Every structure is written in C-alpha cells, then in structure tokens.
Copies of this chain bind each other. A is one copy, B any other.
Amino acid sequence: MRKMFLFMMTSLDGYMEGKDHDLSWHHVDEEFNIFATKQLQEADTIVMGKNTYQLMESYWPTPQGMEDDPMVAAFMNTMPKVVVSHSLPEVQETAYWKNIQHIKDNVAEEIKKIKEGSGKAVIVLGSNNLCVTLLQENLLDEIRIMVNPVVIGEGTPLFSGLGKKPFTFRDTRKFSNGNMLLTYYPQ
C-alpha cells in the first residue's frame, strides 16, 4: 500500500483559503520552492480537487509558471495527476500538461485503487472537500500543514465539514520566512 499524504497551507487563524479562494497571503520563496520540489520527489502521483486542479492548470503549464520555477513546473506538468470532481468537464491534456486521471464518482474506491498500485507516495495538494472525504475514509496517512504567519480573518477553515478529529503530532520544520510546517498522523 502506498503512503498518501496531504500538503496544505493555512493562515495563523486556520483558514486554508481566503474569501473567493484568495491565496495571495501564501508566503512562497526560494526555500519554499526547494522544499516543494523535494516533497514532490517523494511522490509519483498528485491528487487534487477541482479548485486546486484549476489553479495548477492555469499556472504551471504557462510561460509564467515555467519561468518562475522551472523545477516545480517540470514536476507539476509531467507527473501523473488525479483530479477528483463531479462537476469538472472532461480534462484536457496538452503538450505541457500531461498524465491526468479524472475521478468523478466512487471517490474512496478509486483512491484506494491508486494507493494499492505500486510506486512512490501519493501527494494530495490543498482541496478541502477532498481532504474531508479522505480523512473520513481513513485514506490519508499523514497531513503536512504549513502555517503562514498571517491572520486573514475570513475564508474556508482547514478541514471544514469534517467535525471533530484528533491527530498525533509527528514533526515540525521552521522556514526562514516565518512559515511553520506541522506534520501529523490522523488517529
């Protein structure tokens, strides 16, 4: 069984996105990009919900994305990607944006199949509703929460809709821009 872990940015007041999907408060710099590249190298499959997928699709295969961080762009554009969404129209592959699987129904079952496959870990990026489903189905093995040093005041709280759930603390890492990475195992 492959390990499946989540990477999620949050604000200090616990929001995973601001109003209208605002992510302009994310603290991203060179140290972050090196971390993100190494983290992607742990995995060979990226799983996302609709909003995160559309955000990635509109950035990484563009000239801007490939120029801003060629390493992360190369990973994002070529790695196998899974988008989980009932409402997303058929996904479009291009020369720059490849290897996409679209799960529309039977989410838990389809994700289990992916975990049962061979290969490196499976990384989940952002995607609140998907994370709630994965946690409810005990499919997430680890969560990595990067707390940005900013209060944003409104938005979607981390794991909104999950209800009460305890976690076991695993590890922590401090970034020089003030971000704190906190990692936990779901109980």
- Chain copies in complex: 2
Q: Are B158 and A157 in contact (CB under 8 A)?
A: no
- How far is B152's CA from A159's CA once the two chains are assembled, in angstroms? 9
Q: Are B162 and A153 in contact (CB under 8 A)?
A: yes
Q: Mark A146-166, 1 if CB is under 8 A from B, else 0.
A: 010111110001111111111
A149 touching B168 in the complex, CB below 8 Å, given contacts A157-B13, A159-B13: yes
A61 contacts the other chain (CB 8 A) = no
A residues within 8 Å of B by Cβ? Answer: 10-15, 25, 145, 147, 149-153, 157-169, 172, 174, 178-180, 182, 184
Residue of B at shortest CB range from A22?
B164
- Max count, chain B CB within 10 A of own CB: residue among A145, A166, A172: A166
Selected contact of A14 from candidates B10, B25, B149, B178, CB within 8 Å: B10
A169 touching B153 in the complex, CB below 8 Å, given contacts A14-B10, A25-B164, A180-B182: no
